[in-house]
Copies of this chain bind each other. A is one copy, B any other.
Amino acid sequence: MERIPILKMGRLLLVTIQVDMHDRLAMTLQDDLMARIVKENAKGVLIDISALDIVDSFIGRMISNTAGMAKILDAQTVLVGMQPAVAMTLVELGLTLPGVSTALDVERGIKLLQASLE
Contact = CB atoms under 8 A, between A and B. Distances in A.
Interface string A71-101: 0000000000100000000000000000000
Interface residues of A, number: 19
In the complex this chain forms, how many copies of it are found? 2
B107 A51 contact: no
15 contacts: A3-B51, A4-B18, A4-B51, A5-B48, A5-B81, A7-B16, A7-B50, A7-B81, A8-B105, A8-B106, A8-B107, A9-B9, A9-B107, A18-B18, A19-B19
Contacts of A18: 4-5, 16, 18-19
A16 B19 contact: no
Nearest to A16: B16
A-B residue pairs, 9 tightest by C-beta: A5-B51, A7-B106, A5-B50, A16-B16, A18-B18, A8-B107, A9-B107, A5-B16, A9-B106
A110 B9 contact: yes
Nearest to A15: B16
A105 B8 CA distance: 8
